[in-house]
Structure 1
Amino acid sequence: MVCANAFSQILSSNIEKKTLALGEVDQLVIKIDNLSNQKVSAAAKNELLPFHFEEIKDSIGQNQNLYERRIEFAVFEEGKFTIPELEFKVGDKILKTIPYEIEVINTAQKGDQINDIMNNKEVKLEVKDYWELYKFYILAALAVIALIVAIIMFVKWGRKSKDSPVVATNQTLKELDSLKKKKYIESGDYRAFYVELIDISRKFITKQYGLPADVLLTDDLIDLMKKNNTISQENEKVVENVFLRGDLVKFAKTFPDNVTMEKDFADIKDFVKRSSKDIEFENLRKDA
């Protein structure tokens, strides 16, 4: 019996045996006196002792002044094992037991003669028995493999798909369809039509070709496209014509009719659809 005094609470612990045979049951008893209605906190049931100690029974009793915990356990490996200091919190105070060293021996190796009363019987294991034995290792391995596959798929296809030319093209075509539904052409609101058409086009060029079309002036953008050679001449000509006309409309220097606006809309839409070929050609040129 060992006691430790912390203010008014007294913790005592006792181990029944310090030398055990393999699988022999031992008992550890821990008591805390003079609680004065204070709460005791410790490790949960069957989780107080370290790994090698197989807990068989863990019973806890407590009243206003006494906390008592009895743990029955066994060890199924030979050697010396330590029960470390065990912490118990009483109110805001921490109380600790003393450590115990337990020696576990194989009595069959201590000179005892063993007489078998029957021949050893070979037990044949079935698939379900192997599953029970190794299921945690199998599930853990499968989880790791699934995680690795998911990471590879995300790196190889996930990021690529978000930035692919097809995705950018489809998004822009949806934006153009939304613009068409606003019926600016039918109502003759040419200024609003060209402002939105060019804004959609600038964002598309920036995302699809990596050119800073969203910040450059029209003349600077046209000059950069011609020097960069990323955009085909056919597509480059469409952008140049529509953007220059859009600037004139913006400053009220020209007043396009419905036919012109319809053509500019169709040309930009065709340019967006053809853009993926520009990207494919550029990638081939880089790989060459």
Structure 2
Amino acid sequence: MRKILLILSFLVCANAFSQILSSNVEKKTLALGELNHLTIKIDNLNNEQVNSAAKNELLPFHFEETKDSIGQNANFYERKIEFAVFDEGKFTIPELEFKVGDKILKTIPYEIDVINTAQKADQINDIMKNKEIKLAAQDYWELYKLYILAALAAIALIIAIFMIVKWGRKAKGSPVVATNQTLKELDSLKKKKYIEEGNFRSFYVELIEISRNFITKQYRLPADVLLTDDLIEVMKKNNTISQDNEKIIEEVFLRGDLVKFAKTFPDQITMEKDFADIRDFVKRSSQDLEFENLRKDV
């Protein structure tokens, strides 16, 4: 007898301190679109947090939730869901999980029968006859102005991109830009004072490298990869560079090759002259391009 009393006491205490979940569905049979209510309650929370699906996401597909309210205090949790079903047939609300602390509590499943109460012979009457309303230009503008503005903005964006691609790239690669950039590089070379210090090898290496890059950009000739003799031959066949400029390039580049292989040792006057000649060639390059454009037009 004493053992039975102990067991009963244990069960009573366990139930007294454990969470109890209960659920209830208001109607098991619904008309199409009729509202129904599902209520879930949990007692004896003992300050435990309840976690479940987010609002309006608890019920499965076909159940359109219109309201979802949650109330909770230290010992009690209640969730009320208002829903409707807009398809005929039998639909099941499955077991719904609620996590209380480390425990998982589940509701019982419910089967909902949804019927169409309208009969085929029922006549549907409009409350009032439709009216025809004439729209003015202002009305059409109010209706479609967002679409019109969006279309205009898209057209403007396409035009802007076209202009940037066409003229932006052209401006960056224009003869004036290449000339100014190369003149700045020549000024930087001058500031290194290779001429004054007699460092003729470093001077000619950098001078010719600057000149090769300039010819490549300005005249579209592969000066950056050709040997000096090959470049001179290409320039003479191409006829884009004037004879005076060709002569300067040929003299300076050939001298630079001799300096590079220690076959000649130019003095300061020669280096000054070569630097000035290359600088003048860079400045005059636009005249070569203008003449070439005229020749193409003819």
Q: Figure out how many residues of one structure are paired with residues of the other and give that number.
A: 232
Would you say 1:234 and 2:244 are equivalent positions? yes
1:232 Cα shift?
A: 1.2
Q: Partner letter of residue 179 of structure 1?
A: L
Partner of 1:194: 204
1:181 Cα shift?
A: 1.0
Q: Partner letter of residue 177 of structure 1?
A: D
Q: Relative to structure 1, is the Cα distance of residues 40 and 181 closer, same or farther in structure 2, using a 3 angstrom cutoff?
A: same
Q: Relative to structure 1, is the Cα distance of residues 58 and 155 closer, same or farther in structure 2, using a 3 angstrom cutoff?
A: farther
Contact 1:40 1:67 in 2 (8 A): no
Would you say 1:256 and 2:266 are equivalent positions? yes
Q: Distance in 1 between matches of 2:174 and 2:97?
A: 62
Q: Relative to structure 1, is the Cα distance of residues 112 and 271 closer, same or farther in structure 2, using a 3 angstrom cutoff?
A: closer
Partner of 2:177: 167
Q: Distance in 2 between matches of 1:171 and 1:28?
A: 78
Q: Distance in 2 between matches of 1:16 and 1:132?
A: 42
Query: Which of these residues, 40, 45, 48, is aligned with residue 53 of structure 2?
Result: 40
1:155 Cα shift?
A: 2.3
Q: Distance in 2 between matches of 1:160 and 1:252?
A: 42
1:156 Cα shift?
A: 1.7
Give structure 1 stretches of 5+ with no counterpart.
1-9, 20-25, 50-54, 73-79, 82-88, 92-97, 103-108
Contact 1:41 1:90 in 2 (8 A): no
Q: Distance in 1 between matches of 2:80 and 2:294?
A: 78
Q: Distance in 2 between matches of 1:276 and 1:71?
A: 79
Q: Distance in 1 between matches of 2:153 and 2:83?
A: 36
The 3-state SS of whatever aligns with 2:252 is helix
The 5 Å alignment of 1:1-288 reads 18=32, 37-40=50-53, 61=70, 70=82, 111=125, 133-288=143-298
1:30 Cα shift?
A: 8.1
The 3-state SS of whatever aligns with 1:40 is coil
Q: Relative to structure 1, is the Cα distance of residues 42 and 267 closer, same or farther in structure 2, using a 3 angstrom cutoff?
A: farther
Q: What is the TM-score of this pair, normalised by structure 1?
A: 0.61
Contact 2:37 2:83 in 1 (8 A): yes
Q: Distance in 2 between matches of 1:145 and 1:27?
A: 49
Q: Relative to structure 1, is the Cα distance of residues 112 and 134 closer, same or farther in structure 2, using a 3 angstrom cutoff?
A: closer
Q: Partner letter of residue 53 of structure 2?
A: V
| Worse-matched range after superposition: 158-167 or 200-209 | 158-167
Q: Relative to structure 1, is the Cα distance of residues 132 and 42 closer, same or farther in structure 2, using a 3 angstrom cutoff?
A: farther
Contact 1:168 1:208 in 2 (8 A): yes
Give structure 2 stretches of 5+ with no counterpart.
1-22, 43-48, 88-95, 99-111, 117-122
1:90 Cα shift?
A: 7.9
